Each structure stands twice: as structure tokens, then as C-alpha cells.
């Protein structure tokens, strides 16, 4: 081909080879980038959270993707649970007027004697942190907030993280477990 003009076949053949090389390089680059940077998700560090209430109001979802979790290993199964009951309830029972939670998301079930178990209905929880704050004030802190990864839309910049006064919200790799409550609160 020296000194001759390239034929149409030569141009097309070179173009196809170039496109194949670009495609192979792009695919390899995407695999390297994907393996180098794992998918990141938002989470709350329960040890830094100050229960300010912004999780319920600042999330782009309504209700918020932030939910109350319960570290049952720390729960005292108390009859008078400061995360469940208002500070001065009319009675120590499950009546709506006595409950701290504005959406009735906490379930109270008698185990035996004066011992009760508490569970969270995540569909009703709005992440207001009232129960978490109550449990931390007079209880052992077995309630804590966490972002529910199943419903979080994983905003590029979490609207709650931008306004969190204690900077308790950060990004972690999706394959990493939630940061759990690791110890009971002490008064």
C-alpha cells in the first residue's frame, strides 16, 4: 500500500479495529473504576447522634428514610420505658395519650411480671428521635437512629448530612455493616 490511497475497505477495517480497541479499553476502565470505588451509602453513627430531630424533617423522602432501631441486648425490658412513655404519663400503659412516639411506631408487649419487650414498626417510624432521646435521658440508650438502606434514595449529598449539627452522618461502603450501638449509655 505504499504510495497508494487507502481503499474504502482499508478505512472501514481500521475504523472497526479502532472502535473495538476503544470498547475493550472502556470496558476494562469501567471494571477497574468499579472495583476501585465500591458503592457508598449513607449511615448514622449512633455514638455521635444528638437526637436533634432533623432526620425527620430534612430527608428528601416523606416519611424519612431514617428509622429508630433497637439494640435489644442493652434493653432492660422495663415497665417504665422512657423511650416509650411520655415523661409524666397518665398511666403506665400503651394508651396513645401516654406514648412518646407521635406515630405509634413502638410496640410494647408484656413478657412477664413487670418486664416488657419493645419493637419498632419501621413503616410507621418517621425518624423524629423522640424515643431515642427519651431512652438516652433516663434509660440505657437501646434505641438509636439509622438510615434504612432499603428505602434511602442515596442522594449524592444527603440533605440530612448537610444540616446534621453533630456530623453523625457519613458515607461507608455498601458492603460494610451498619454501625451499631456498641455500648449502653451511662447517665
Query: What's the full length of the chain, in residues?
Result: 187
For the segment 39-65, the average pLDDT, to the nearest whole number, is 94
How high is the pLDDT of residue 83? 93
* Site of grid cell 468499579: 34
* DSSP E strand stretches across 103-155: 106-112, 115-120, 143-147
Looking at domain 40-76+122-173, its CATH architecture is 2-Layer Sandwich (3.30)
The pLDDT, as a whole number, for residue 26 is 75
What's the predicted TM-score (pTM) here?
0.74
Residue 95 has pLDDT above 70, yes or no: yes
Task: Over range 25-38, report the average pLDDT.
Answer: 69
pLDDT score for 184? 65
Distance CA 91, CA 149 (A): 37
- What proportion of the chain, given as a percentage, has pLDDT over 70? 90
Average pLDDT over residues 111-123: 93
Q: Give the domain ranges of the chain.
A: 1-37, 40-76+122-173
Q: Do 108 and 96 touch, CB atoms closer than 8 A?
A: no
Amino acid at each position: 500500500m505504499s504510495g497508494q490511497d487507502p481503499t474504502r475497505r482499508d478505512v472501514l477495517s481500521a475504523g472497526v479495529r479502532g472502535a473495538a480497541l476503544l470498547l475493550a479499553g472502556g470496558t476494562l476502565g469501567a471494571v477497574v473504576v468499579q472495583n476501585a470505588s465500591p458503592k457508598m451509602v449513607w449511615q448514622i453513627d449512633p455514638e455521635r447522634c444528638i437526637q436533634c430531630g432533623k432526620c425527620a424533617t430534612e430527608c428528601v423522602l416523606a416519611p424519612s428514610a431514617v428509622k429508630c432501631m433497637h439494640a435489644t441486648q442493652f434493653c432492660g425490658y422495663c415497665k417504665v420505658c422512657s423511650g416509650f412513655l411520655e415523661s409524666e404519663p397518665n398511666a403506665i400503659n400503651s394508651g396513645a395519650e401516654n406514648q412518646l412516639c407521635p406515630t405509634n411506631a413502638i410496640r410494647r408487649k408484656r413478657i412477664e411480671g413487670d418486664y416488657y419487650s419493645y419493637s419498632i414498626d419501621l413503616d410507621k417510624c418517621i425518624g423524629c428521635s423522640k424515643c431515642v432521646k427519651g431512652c438516652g435521658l433516663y434509660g440505657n440508650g437501646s434505641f438509636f437512629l439509622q438510615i434504612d438502606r432499603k428505602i434511602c434514595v442515596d442522594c449524592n449529598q444527603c440533605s440530612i448530612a448537610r444540616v446534621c449539627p453533630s456530623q453523625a452522618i457519613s458515607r461507608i461502603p455498601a458492603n460494610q455493616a451498619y454501625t451499631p450501638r456498641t455500648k449502653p449509655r451511662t447517665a
